[in-house]
Amino acid sequence: MVVSYIVSHSAMALLLVLSSSLQALVVAAASAAAAGGRPPPAMFVFGDSTLDVGNNNYLPGPDVPRANKPYYGIDFPGSLPTGRFSNGYNIADYLAKSMGFASSPPPYLSLAPSTSRLVLTPRGNGVSYASGGAGILDSTNAGNNIPLSKQVQYFKSTKSQMATKLGSRATNLLLSNSVFLFSVGSNDLFVFATAQASESQNKSAAEQQRDVATLYTSLISNYSATITELHAMGARKFGIINVGLLGCVPAARLSSHGATGACLDGLNELASGLDDALASLLASLASRLPGFVYSLADYYGLSAATFEDPAASGYTDVADACCGGGRLGAEADCLPNATVCSNRDQHAFWDRVHPCQRGTMLAAQNFYDSRPGRYTAPINFKQLAYTSL
């Protein structure tokens, strides 16, 4: 049963991270710091469409995924489509507000043409490099997004210009106290699962399992290299959101056999395996990188609890897309000619793959201020934000 598997996954992942005595010390220190520390000076955002606030609007090409048309942004102030893959705000927005910022960090590509803006903005709230369709691997949806490796290069350019204008000492101090937010990996798994499905008839079960193991190795290796490189450039505080229940998004349900639109267990298991590997990676990095502090948000576990008891979160529909068309609202994209539900706050999903605004708000609330060990480990995002280094 999907739910029982999910719950066991969540418990295993959190226990794995909490097992180290070093992490216990981090929890104690972070709790004390959160009680009297200062808010972070900036937030730097990396990842995919779950965090993108408009970078893809600046990318050329007809195949770039963009959220720059109605009905995206219908619940954003002014009902404006901003490039967020949501009917309103996204998780980055709500986390930024929780950390005391007036707004989410703006997209890097909106700032890059102006050196002065690129330098001044990080002093105000940070920069977002997140890009819809991006993956941990460069090959994921290649050519139609800003892959994670390029996002890191954009940050390197940002830091260089900051150091030139502000000086290395001031820049390093700002970066060491800033939060580096990540949500990435879903697109890599979607692409892999699609390819594996088309090749399944030609491969044995053992060969398919070896492919999965190879994929995990590549993803974790790249994730590790990314965090290590950012740490070398001065990043210390990392907020990492793991991969949620990919098999339960409307687009995945649409592919399931039968008329019920059930979750795809295989895709959920693929996400679960990556999440376990990610938890192990972060615990390892914490023991090796000086000053490295992190909070791992369990989007998988939160989604599991939500789908097990939708009414507890105020949902009446956790299967259909609010904006789209056809079966489950997932046979058509969210475009100006799409059908849009009126009870958006009661829908878990906005379009074929993305949550509604209210869902992102609930996720941000849980990641920011819930009891550590519930949906975050070893500390929550609030403790991470206020930790003084």
**pLDDT, tens only, 51-65:** 999 999 999 999 999
**pLDDT, position 115:** 76
- Report whether the peptide linkage leading into residue 378 is cis, meaning its omega lies within 30 degrees of zero: yes
Catalytic: which of 9, 231, 347, 354? 354
In eight-state DSSP terms, residue 372 is T
What digits encode the pLDDT tens for the residues 264-277? 999 999 999 999 99
What number of CA atoms fall less than 13 Å from residue 311's CA on the CB side?
0
**pLDDT, position 34:** 53
State the amino acid at position 57 in one-letter form: N
Catalytic: which of 52, 93, 275, 351? 351
Question: Catalytic: 49?
Answer: yes
**pLDDT, position 22:** 43
> Average pLDDT in the 312-318 region?
97
> Average pLDDT in the 353-362 region?
98
C-alpha 120/C-alpha 48 separation (Å) is 24
- How many CB atoms lie under 10 A from the CB of residue 261? 17
What digits encode the pLDDT tens for the residues 236-256? 999 999 999 999 999 999 987
**pLDDT, position 21:** 42
Q: Strands 126-128 and 43-47, how do they pair?
A: parallel
11 pLDDT tier (thresholds 50, 70, 90):
very low
Instruction: Indicate the angle between helix axes 357-369 and 299-308, nearest 10 degrees.
Output: 120
* Third-level CATH fold of 40-386: Rossmann fold (3.40.50)
**pLDDT, position 118:** 82
Percentage of the chain modeled with pLDDT above 90: 82
User: Is the separation of the CB atoms in 151 and 46 below 8 Å?
Assistant: yes
What digits encode the pLDDT tens for the residues 153-181? 999 999 999 999 999 999 999 999 999 99
> Average pLDDT in the 29-39 region?
59
Q: Specify the higher pLDDT residue, 181 or 9.
A: 181
Question: Catalytic: 347?
Answer: no
pLDDT at 257 over 90: no
> Average pLDDT in the 101-106 region?
94
User: Is the separation of the CB atoms in 177 and 40 below 8 Å?
Assistant: yes
Conformation bin of residue 34: beta by default, left when phi > 0, alpha when psi is -120 to 50? alpha
CA distances in angstroms from 88 to 129, 141, 302, listed in the order given: 19, 25, 21
pLDDT at 206 over 50: yes
pLDDT at 351 over 70: yes
Question: Catalytic: 351?
Answer: yes
C-alpha 339/C-alpha 323 separation (Å) is 6
388 pLDDT tier (thresholds 50, 70, 90):
confident
pLDDT at 25 over 50: no
Helix spans in 55-132 (H): 91-98, 108-111, 115-124
Residue 117: both structure tokens together: 């803006």
In eight-state DSSP terms, residue 354 is -
pLDDT at 96 over 90: yes
CA distances in angstroms from 56 to 47, 106, 107, 119, 142, listed in the order given: 12, 12, 9, 21, 13
User: Which of the residue ranges 98-112, 213-227, 257-271, 341-355 would you say has the lowest mean pLDDT?
Assistant: 257-271
329 pLDDT tier (thresholds 50, 70, 90):
very high
What number of CA atoms fall less than 13 Å from residue 136's CA on the CB side?
26
Catalytic: which of 9, 10, 48, 49? 49
pLDDT at 309 over 50: yes
> Average pLDDT in the 360-378 region?
97
Q: What is the pTM of this model?
A: 0.91
State the amino acid at position 229 in one-letter form: E
pLDDT at 8 over 50: no
